[in-house]
Structures are given as structure tokens and as C-alpha cells.
Amino acid sequence: MARRAAWTHALYYLLMTLLAGFFLFPVVIMLVSSLKPDDALIMRHMSSGLAFVPTEVSLQNYRDVFDNVAFLKALRNSVLIVGSIVVIGLFVNSLIAYGLARFRFRGRGLLVSVVIALIIIPFESIAVPLLLIVNRFGWLDTLYVQAIPFIADAFSIFLFYQFFIQVPRDLEEAAVVDGASRFRIYWSVVLPLSRPIIATVTILLFLRHWGQLLWPVMVARSVEVRPLTVAMQQFFGQQPREWGQIMAFAAMITIPVLIVYLLFNRWFVQSIASSGVKG
């Protein structure tokens, strides 16, 4: 019996290792290719197992990226834009969701339905009208035009709303008895209980906007406000492609994503397990 359990265990681990390897393949190829200084070599290896082997190790591609692109400026811009969306978005969206979850007012149900309906509207369909609006405001070619339109987010409101309606009212009623204001209850009672959903929203917002390309392409012109995704497009033009630099750039913009995920991983998994969210 024990031997059978051990076999099952081993099989399970083997399967998991294979799956992990499968999902890690692109990341490994990216990292290994970024260390190969010869683009022709990268292309030759790409169709064989050598794509996973660092046959040559050099940081030349990374140096070339810094020489050819204002990488640090683009990184700073991306961090500022996405950081603003996440931090301000957490506050704004949770506050809206709290209001919808706790206040009783005429049209509340309709408002919730509208928020849910907004989730299904693809950004591409509103991009052009939004461009015309921000142009009238004189916001083009700024950092804030890349953040402000995304702070209020229907999906984040929905996630917070779903979470808040499950938070027991007893806790809040006790705070009311103690004389706490609504905002105080939201800030000091509800938010501390909401770490899993905060982590989930943080990761989802971060992932969505870290890789955002369409909107920055439409509104960011100068290198001063250009985020990483647009800066990377410098490598996608004339043939032949400089795959080594592309991989080095990709490696460097993937690292912040991994850091954010690892920071919030525990709560993210917890939230998915409890709410069934599929980002």
C-alpha cells in the first residue's frame, strides 16, 4: 500500500515537473537567447534543442539594449503609470464597490448591472473616442493620460463588490455602535479584511497595464513619456531582426512582473481558491 502511494506520489511529481517545464519553456528560451551575442546563432538554435542551452554567455545584448533604447526612462515611465493605476485604482474601485455593496439607494441594482455590462466592452471599441476626448483636454503625450482613463475599472469594482457582499455585516455594525463613520469603517474594518481581493486586483491590474500597447501607441509620442511596451517596438522594424536584443529587453521587462506576482502570490492563490476568479 505504502509502495503504491509512493508510486502515485512520484507520478504526480513527474507530471507536475513536466507541466512546469512546459510553462517555463518560453521563459527559459528568452533568458538563454538573451545571453547569446550572435543573432544568427539564436535563429539556428531556435529550431533545435540548443535553444535551451547557453552555448555562449555574454551580456552584450543587454549592453546593446541600454545603448539603443532609453530603457531606464521607459522603465521609470511604466512603473509610474502602472503604479498609479494600481494604487489609485485600488482605492477608487474598492470605495465604489463598498458603496454599491453597503448603501441601499434607488437604482443600485441597475448600477451594479451596468458595471458588470461594462466589463464586456473591449477597450479597442472605445479607444478612438477616448483619444478624441483626451486630445480635447490637451492631455496627449503625458504620463497621466496613460493612467487616468484606467483608474476606474469595472472588473476591479465587480471583484471588490463580490468580496464585500460576503463580509459579515456584524463587524461593521459593531463599529457603528462605537461611533465610527462610514469611511472609517471602510478604511479600518473592511479593507484590512480584504487582503486577498486586494492582491488579486493588484496582480490583474498590473498584468493588464504592464503589457498595454494600444493606448500608449495612440497617446505617447516623446521618449520622455514612452513606456516599455512602446520602447520595445524599436526592435520590430527592418529585417533582419535583432533577436538577442529583443530577448534581453523582454527578459528585463518580465522580471518586474515576476516580482509583483511573487510578492502577492499567497493572497492571490487564496483569493482564486475562494472566489473562483480566472484573471
Partner 1 sequence: MERIRRLVLTLAALALAAGALAQTDVSVWFHSGKGPERDALAAQVEAFNGSQNTYRVVAEQLPEGTYNDQVQAAALSNDLPCLLDFDGPFIYNYAWSGFLRPIDAYVSDGLRADVLPSILDQGTYAGQLYSLGTFDSGLGLYANRRYLEAAGVRIPTGIDDAWTAEEFDDALARLTALPEVEYALDLKFNYGQGEWFTYGFSPILQSAGADLIDRDGYQNAEPLTSPEAIAAMERFQGWFENGWATNAPAGDVDFHERQIAALSWVGHWQYNPHAEALGEDLLILPLPDFGTGSKTGMGSWNWGITTSCDVPDGAWAFLEFLMQPDEILRMTDANGAVPARFSAIEMSELYGEGAPLELFAEQLNTIAVPRPQTPAYPVITDAFAEVIANIAGGADVATQLQQARQRIEQDIEDNRGYPTD
Nearer to partner 1, 71 or 186 (CB): 71
Candidates 11, 223, 263, 269; binder of partner 1 (CB under 8 A) is 223
Nearer to partner 1, 103 or 236 (CB): 236
Q: Min. distance of Cβ 235 from partner 1 in angstroms?
A: 7
In which element (H, E) is residue 268 found? helix 243-275
Restricted to residues 13-52, the positions that interact with partner 1 (CB under 8 A) are 40, 43-44, 46-47
Task: Please report, to the nearest 10 degrees, the dihedral formed by the alpha carbons of residues 256, 89, 159, 109 taken in order.
Answer: -160
Under the phi-then-psi rule, with left for phi > 0, alpha for psi from -120 to 50, and beta for the rest, what region is 242?
beta
Candidates 236, 262, 276, 278; binder of partner 1 (CB under 8 A) is 236
Is residue 221 within the footprint of partner 1 (CB under 8 A)?
A: yes
Radius of gyration of the chain (CA): 23
Instruction: Give the max Cα distance, the chain.
Output: 74
Candidates 3, 104, 222, 255; binder of partner 1 (CB under 8 A) is 222
Candidates 234, 254, 270, 275; binder of partner 1 (CB under 8 A) is 234
**Binding range to partner 1, per CB under 8 A, among 4-12, 173-181, 224-232, 261-269:** 224-232
**Binding range to partner 1, per CB under 8 A, among 8-16, 79-87, 235-243, 268-276:** 235-243
Q: Min. distance of Cβ 143 from partner 1 in angstroms?
A: 16
Q: Which three cell numbers stand for residue 76?
A: 521609470
Residue owning grid cell 513619456: 225
Is residue 190 within the footprint of partner 1 (CB under 8 A)?
A: no
Main-chain phi, psi angles of 59, to 5 degrees: -100, 15
Q: Min. distance of Cβ 141 from partner 1 in angstroms?
A: 8
Burial class (CB in 10 A: 0-12, 13-18, 19+), 128: exposed
Per-residue binding letters, 70-109, with partner 1 (x by CB under 8 A):
----------------------------------------
Is residue 140 within the footprint of partner 1 (CB under 8 A)?
A: yes
Burial class (CB in 10 A: 0-12, 13-18, 19+), 67: exposed
Residue type for position 164: F
Q: Min. distance of Cβ 24 from partner 1 in angstroms?
A: 24
Contact status, residue 37 vs residue 61, Cβ threshold 8 Å: yes
- Residue 84: name the closest of 227, 186, 223, 196 by CA: 227
Residues of this chain that bind partner 1 (CB under 8 A): 40, 43-44, 46-47, 67-68, 128, 131-132, 135, 140, 213, 217-219, 221-223, 226, 230-240, 242
